[in-house]
Structure formats: C-alpha cells, structure tokens
Amino acid sequence: MATTQPEFEHPNKAFGLAARDSSGLLSSFNFSRRETGEKDVAFRVLYCGICHSDLHMVKNEWGVSTYPLVPGHEIAGIVTEVGSKVEKFKVGDRVGVGCMVDSCRTCQNCEDNLENYCPTKTLTYGEKYSDGTITYGGYSDSMVADEHFVVRIPDGLPLEAAAPLLCAGITVYSPLKYFGLDKLGLRIGVVGLGGLGHMAVKFAKAFGVNVTVISTSPNKEKEAIEHLGADTFLISRDQDKMQAAIGTLDGIIDTVSAVHPLLPLIGLLKSNGKLVMVGAPEKPLELPVFPLIMGRKLIAGSAIGGMKETQEMIDFAAKHNVKPDIEVIPVDYVNTAMERLAKADVKYRFVIDIGNTLKTSS
Ligand code: NAP
Ligand code: ZN
C-alpha cells in the first residue's frame, strides 16, 4: 500500500545518512528512490564531497531546511540502470550529479543553459521534486536523476577527485569565466581557502591568472604558495599587508561561509574591479557604498553553473589536471568531519568513501 513514509514511497530501497533536526547530527536513514524513468540514469554512489552548504543545511542555518535531510550534492558513481530514452549514458559509465536534479526546461534561463538560475529548479536534496516527494542527496548508496542533470566524468579523473568539482569546482569556475577573470595576466583575489577557495586558486592558475589568497588562517600560507601555486598570501587581520595591497586586484572571488567585513576587500580592488560573492553566510553583510562609487567597482553574486558549463568545467579539469585536494573519510567519520569543517580545519575538501564504508542497516 502506498504510504508517505520515505522508506516506502518509491519502489527502490535506499540507505544513507540523514540529519533529523538542527543539531545537524547525521545518523542512519532508510528511504527509497523512484523507479528509473525513461529519461533517468540510476547510479551507485561511490563518493560524495562534503560542501559547507551541507553544514549550513543540516544545521538549518539558512532557515529553509526540512527533516529528515540527506545532504550531499557532490556525488560520483557508476551507472547501474538507464531508462529506455536515455541517450548519453549506459550501464557502467562514470557519472556525477551536482546541486540540481531538475528545472523547468522552458524559461529563458533554462533555454540559455542556465538551469542554475531557473526559478523552479529542484535542488538535489531537501526540496520537493515534481512528483511531490522530497529530494535526498548523495550521503547515500544510490542516486537517480534525469540524464540532463547527470555529468560524465572523464576517464583519467578519479571519481573521488571528480566529486568536489560538481559543486565547489563549478561554483568558482563559472564566475571566473562569466566575469572575465580568466584572462592571462590578470590579478585576482580569493577570499577563504576552503573547498571553493582552493578550487578557485587552481582554476585561476590554470587560466594563467595571478592569485592572491586572503585568509584568516596563517597555517595555510606555506602550502597555498608552495603547493596550490598562489602568488601572494594575505592574512586579512594583518592591517599593514592589507594596506600595502590596496588597489591591486582586478577581481575577487569571495568564498567565505560566515559574516565578514567587505570594506577591506573592496579596498583591494582596482578601479572597475569586481567583487563576486559565492560564499553564503546566514546573515546579510554590511555593504559600504562609498568605496564602490569612488572607483566604479562592482559587487555581484554567482550560484553554481548550468549543466553545459558543468560538463565543460569537468572536461577542462581533466584536461589540465585541475584536481581538488581531498581528505577521503569513512562514513562513520562524517559527524567529526562536519565539526572540523565548521572550524575551517580541512585541506581542503572532505570526500566520503560511500562505496567502501556505507554499511546498509539490517
Ligand atoms: P569551507 O570549505 O568551509 O571554506 C570556507 C572558508 O572561509 C574557510 O576555509 C575559511 O578560510 C573562511 N572562513 C570561515 N569562517 C570565516 C570567518 N568567520 N571569517 C572569515 N573567513 C572565514 O566552505 P566551502 O564549502 O568552500 O563553502 C563556502 C561558502 O560557499 C559556504 O557558505 C557555502 O554554503 C557557499 N557555497 C555557495 C555556492 C554557490 O553556488 N554560490 C556553492 C557552494 C557553496 P580561511 O581559513 O582561509 O580563512
Ligand atoms: Zn555545495
């Protein structure tokens, strides 16, 4: 008999980790996935990255969470079943799903390959799908999505490295491109050296851009310069160094997850410089207008990227060997990983080894 219990609402059994309330604590969760529809791709999840958005969501920091909530939108795995009308994928293919699983496909944004700005898009978890059921993310053993929202993971790119590209990667690649911050010889700043920030450094370096990291963590300096290839490292609390860097940057990608002052960042920009916000703090930031006016500076936002650009990004990453630095963790470490992520204690992305460590409950 049909019931609204997550475990029985669909025919395919699924198992994962869910938060039950705003404590954000994740624990075992039995639910179900829909039957593989004619345009659907079903896959076995092998790896899932932990995005700071997962942390915001499990703790309901944006005030939009519903429980039980299965997070995870950096999902990589192997196709197990395809619908009869699927054209791009077959069983055994290496695939991924990022932040979206559906959109209207008819609005201007969808027509422009900007499904990420479709007003009625469906996010990968915690949203109502077109069939009325709630979407559950990739901290789980299986996934199903329309092939339009499935990305092909190029050969040579390990699945665990591909996973964080599906959110962290595209979220910084897209604004670097759109705002013209990908031009050889430009000087850009990256604020916050976490999952998104370190990918911004890597993509920017692959584009031939000069990169200044602006960080609160002195312990990240050596590695940022020597390993990530950043050209300059500024500690945001170091007034003298910040002062010396005033007016030096063509653009900034701000990935900070918490409330922080914008004034010093606007100061780092040259005239006509662009400050692009991708970090999503739970409270509004203070916007100092005068320093924007006195330099024709621009402040903007950007959300992930469309499906076409996501595929382009991951193909570029494979071709140019742009890979995230990851700490692969077992499922039973996830709650500890969340605590560490809250303290910016990760270099630079946790990826859950779902395939080897998610044990189905009896
Ligand atoms: P993350 O790995 O935690 O990185 C955030 C970094 O911000 C930290 O590593 C830290 O870098 C810095 N930071 C943290 N707290 C700070 C504070 N109080 N003041 C100043 N700096 C601070 O997070 P993430 O996964 O990269 O995500 C970053 C943000 O982007 C989150 O808000 C997330 O929800 C959002 N996001 C947005 C999109 C989008 O489409 N726009 C997509 C994905 C994620 P340092 O140690 O270097 O200071
Ligand atoms: Zn994310």
User: Ligand 1 centroid to 281 CA: how many Å?
Assistant: 8
Does 139 share its domain with 285?
A: no
Does 21 share its domain with 58?
A: yes
Per-residue pLDDT tens over the stretch 320-336: 999 999 999 999 999 99
Does 229 share its domain with 273?
A: yes
pTM: 0.97
Q: What is the pLDDT of residue 359?
A: 87
Does 42 reside within a domain?
A: yes
Does 70 share its domain with 207?
A: no
Does 56 reside within a domain?
A: yes
Report which of 326, 279, 270 is spatially closest to residue 300, judged by C-alpha positions. 279
Does 244 reside within a domain?
A: yes
17 vs 330: CA distance, rounded Å: 12
User: Ligand 2 centroid to 170 CA: how many Å?
Assistant: 9
Q: What is the arithmetic mean of pLDDT over 246-275?
A: 98
Ligand showing the shortest atom-to-Cα distance for residue 278: 1
Does 19 share its domain with 120?
A: yes
Q: What is the arithmetic mean of pLDDT over 254-278?
A: 98
Q: How many CA atoms lie within 13 A of 185 on its CB side?
A: 0
CA of 342, closest atom in ligand 1 = 3
Does 227 share its domain with 353?
A: no
Ligand 1 and 192: CB distance under 6 A:
yes
Does 187 share its domain with 292?
A: yes
Does 41 share its domain with 156?
A: yes
Q: What is the pLDDT of residue 322?
A: 98
Whether the predicted pLDDT of 362 surpasses 50: no
155 vs 355: CA distance, rounded Å: 19
User: Ligand 1 centroid to 252 CA: how many Å?
Assistant: 14
Q: What is the pLDDT of residue 360?
A: 74
Report which of 269, 338, 348 is spatially closest to residue 59, judged by C-alpha positions. 338
Sign of CA dihedral 288, 198, 149, 358: negative
User: Which residues are CB-contacts of 315 (< 8 A; sequence separation ≥ 6)?
Assistant: 154
Q: Domain containing 337: what range? A: 6-167+305-361
Domain boundary among 301, 328, 351: 301
Q: What is the pLDDT of residue 60?
A: 98
Q: What is the arithmetic mean of pLDDT over 174-203?
A: 98
Distances (CA, A) of 113 to 104, 307, 312: 12, 7, 12
Ligand 1 and 174: CB distance under 6 A:
no
Neighbouring CB atoms inside 10 A of 237's CB total 11
Residues 157, 220 contacting (CB under 8 angstroms): no
Domain boundary among 267, 282, 301: 301
Does 190 share its domain with 160?
A: no
Does 55 reside within a domain?
A: yes
Residues 240, 264 contacting (CB under 8 angstroms): no
User: Which residues are CB-contacts of 203 (< 8 A; sequence separation ≥ 6)?
Assistant: 169, 172, 173, 176, 182, 317, 322
Q: What is the arithmetic mean of pLDDT over 217-237?
A: 97
Number of domains in the chain: 2
Does 174 reside within a domain?
A: no
Q: If residue 319 lies in a helix (H) or strand (E), which one and from where to where?
A: helix 307-319
Ligand 1 and 217: CB distance under 6 A:
yes
Region for residue 316 given its phi and psi (left: phi exceeds 0; alpha: psi -120 to 50; beta: otherwise): alpha
Model confidence at 148, pLDDT cuts 50, 70, 90, reads very high
**Residue 221: which CATH number?**
3.40.50.720
CA of 216, closest atom in ligand 1 = 48
Does 63 reside within a domain?
A: yes
Ligand 1 and 342: CB distance under 6 A:
no
Domain boundary among 280, 301, 322: 301
Does 191 share its domain with 217?
A: yes
Ligand 1 and 253: CB distance under 6 A:
no
Does 60 share its domain with 20?
A: yes
Ligand showing the shortest atom-to-Cα distance for residue 306: 1
Q: What is the pLDDT of residue 361?
A: 56
Whether the predicted pLDDT of 1 surpasses 80: no
Does 43 share its domain with 113?
A: yes
Does 112 reside within a domain?
A: yes
Does 172 reside within a domain?
A: no
**Residue 318: which CATH number?**
3.90.180.10
Ligand 1 and 310: CB distance under 6 A:
no
